[in-house]
Amino acid sequence: MNESLGDTGLILNDPLLWEKGKKGRCGFSLPRRDVESAPLREDLIDEGPDFPDLSEVDVVRHYTRLAQWNFGVDTGMYPLGSCTMKYNPKINEKYASLPGLAGAHPLMPADLSQGALKMMFELEEYLTEITGMDATTLQPAAGAHGEFTGMLLIHAFHVRKGASRSKIIVPDTAHGTNPASAALCGYRPVAVSSNEDGILSADAVAEVMDEDTAGIMITNPNTLGLFEENSKEIAEIIHAKGGLVYCDGANMNAVMGVVKMGAIGVDVMQLNLHKTFSTPHGGGGPGSGPVCIKKHLEPFLPVPRVVRDNGTYVLAEDYPESIGKVQAFHGAFGVMIKAYSYIRRMGPKNLNKASQLAVLNANYIKERLKGTLHLPYDRPCMHECVFSDKHQAAQKIATMDMAKRLMDYGFHPPTVYFPLVVHGAIMVEPTETESKEDIDQFIDAFKAIVNEAKEDPDLLRDAPRSCKVRRLDETTAARKPCLAG
Amino acid sequence: MLYLPHTREDIASMLETIGVDDLDGLFSTVPEDCRFTGDLNLPEALTEWELNDHMKALSDSMATFPAYKVFMGAGSYEHFIPASVSYLLSRSEFVTSYTPYQPEMSQGTLQAIYEYQTLAARLMGVDVATASHYDGAAALAEALLMAARITKRRKVVISSLIHPLYRRVVQTYFEPTEYEVVQLPYLKSGTTDFAALDDMDDLAAVGIQSPNFFGCIEDLQAIGEKTHDKEALFIASFTEALAYGLLKNPGSQGADIVAGEGQSLGIPRSFGGPGLGMLGSRKKFMRSLPGRLVGLTKDLDGKRGFVLTLATREQHIRREKATSNICTNNSLCALAAAMYMASVGGTGIRELARLNYDKAEYLKAELKKAGCIISFDSPTFNEFVVEFPSGFEATHRRLLEKKIVAGLCLAPYYSELANHYLLCVTETITKEDMDTLVSCLRSCFQKSKQA
Tell me if A72 and B94 make a contact (CB, 8 A cut-off): yes
Residues of chain A in contact with residue B296, where contact means CB-CB under 8 angstroms, are: 477, 482-483, 485
H helix runs in B199-295, sequence order? 220-229
| A contact residues 63-102, partner B, Cβ 8 Å cutoff | 63-64, 66-75, 78, 80, 83, 85-89, 91, 93, 95-102
Q: Say yes or no for a CB contact (<8 Å) between A54 and B342.
A: yes
Residues A307-343 pLDDT 10s = 999 999 999 999 999 999 999 999 999 999 999 999 9
Q: Please list every residue in chain B whose beta carbon sits closer than 8 Å to the beta carbon of residue A88.
A: 92, 95-96
How many whole angstroms separate alpha carbon B82 and alpha carbon B344? 9
In chain A, where does the domain assigned CATH 3.90.1150.10 lie? 348-476
Determine whether the interchain pair B29/A380 forms a contact, defined as Cβ–Cβ distance below 8 Å.
yes
CB contact under 8 A, A180 and B92: no
DSSP code at position B247: B
Which residues neighbour B83 within 8 Å (Cβ) at sequence distance 6 or greater? none
Gap between the Cα atoms of A119 and A115, Å rounded: 6
Contacts of B28 in chain A (CB under 8 A): 380
Whether A68 sits inside 8 A of B121 (CB atoms) is: no
Distance from CA of B377 to the nearest CA of A (A): 13
**Cα–Cα distance between B344 and B354 in angstroms, integer?**
13
A30 touches chain B (CB under 8 A): yes
CA–CA gap between residue A348 and residue A145 (Å, rounded): 27
Residues of B in contact with A118 (CB under 8 A): 58, 61
Which CATH number applies to A92-344: 3.40.50.1100, 1.10.1660.10, 3.40.640.10, 2.40.160.210? 3.40.640.10
Domains of chain B: 69-79+346-450 (3.90.1150.10), 83-340 (3.40.640.10)
Q: What phi-psi label fits residue B323: left (phi over 0), alpha (psi between -120 and 50 degrees) or beta?
A: alpha
The answer to whether residue A141 neighbours chain B at the CB level (below 8 Å) is yes
| Tens-place pLDDT, residues A29-42 | 999 999 999 999 99
Q: What are the pLDDT digits (tens) for A454-474?
A: 999 999 999 999 999 999 999
Q: Please name the member of A259, A286, A467 whose beta carbon is closest to the beta carbon of B274.
A: A286
The C-alpha of A79 sits at a distance from chain B's nearest C-alpha, in angstroms, of 11
Could you say which DSSP state residue B391 is in? T
Nearest to A88 among B80, B96, B379 (CB): B96
Closest chain B residue by Cα to residue A407:
B105
Q: Which residue of B has its CA nearest to A412?
A: B105
The alpha carbon of residue A395 is apart from the nearest alpha carbon of chain B, in Å, by 22
Q: How confident is the model at residue A6 (pLDDT cuts 50, 70, 90)?
A: low
What pLDDT is recorded for position B253? 98
Question: pLDDT tier at A4 (50, 70, 90 boundaries)?
Answer: low
Residue B15's H or E segment, with its range, is helix B8-18
- pLDDT tens string A350-385: 999 999 999 999 999 999 999 999 999 999 999 999
Q: Does A468 touch chain B (CB under 8 A)?
A: yes
Q: Tell me the mean pLDDT in the region A9-22.
A: 89
Which residue from A65, A55, A45, A48 is spatially nearest to B344, judged by alpha carbons? Answer: A55
Task: For chain A, positions 267-326, list CB contacts with chain B under 8 A.
Answer: 274, 278, 280-288, 302, 323-326
Shortest Cα–Cα distance, A114 to chain B (Å): 6
- Distance between CA atoms of residues A410 and A464, nearest Å: 10
Closest CA to B329 of B297, B287, B290, B296: B290
Q: Which CATH superfamily is domain A348-476 in?
A: Aspartate Aminotransferase, domain 1 (3.90.1150.10)
Answer whether A441's CB lies under 8 Å from A36's CB. no
Q: What is the pLDDT of residue B30?
A: 98
Q: Average pLDDT, whole number, for chain A?
A: 96
Q: What is the pLDDT of residue B311?
A: 86
Q: pLDDT category, A164, cuts 50, 70, 90?
A: confident
CB B428: neighbour CB atoms within 10 A? 17
- Please judge whether A35 and B303 are an interchain contact, meaning their C-beta atoms are less than 8 angstroms apart: no
Distance from CA of A327 to the nearest CA of B (A): 6
The pLDDT score that the predictor gives to residue A8 is 59
Pairing of strands B257-261, B277-281: antiparallel
Please, which residues have CB within 8 angstroms of residue A274's CB and are 6 or more apart in sequence?
A: A142, A143, A280, A281, A282, A285, A286, A287, A288, A335, B328
- Among A244, A249, A231, A270, smallest CA distance to A150 is for A270
Which residues 352-411 on chain A approach chain B with CB closer than 8 angstroms?
352-354, 356-357, 359-361, 363-364, 367-368, 379-380, 382, 403-404, 407
Start-end ranges of CATH 3.40.640.10 in chain A? 92-344
**pLDDT of A1 over the 50 cut:** no
From first to last of its 451 residues, what are the pLDDT tens digits of chain B? Answer: 889 999 999 999 999 999 999 999 999 999 999 999 999 999 999 999 999 999 999 999 999 999 999 999 999 999 999 999 999 999 999 999 999 999 999 999 999 999 999 999 999 999 999 999 999 999 999 999 999 999 999 999 999 999 999 999 999 999 999 999 999 999 999 999 999 999 999 999 999 999 999 999 999 999 999 999 999 999 999 999 999 999 999 999 999 999 999 999 999 999 999 999 999 999 999 999 999 999 999 999 999 999 999 988 777 777 878 778 887 789 999 999 999 999 999 999 999 999 999 999 999 999 999 999 999 999 999 999 999 998 899 999 999 999 999 999 999 999 999 999 999 999 999 999 999 999 999 998 888 777 6
| Per-residue model confidence (pLDDT) at position B161 | 98
Nearest to A346 among B1, B56, B319 (CB): B1
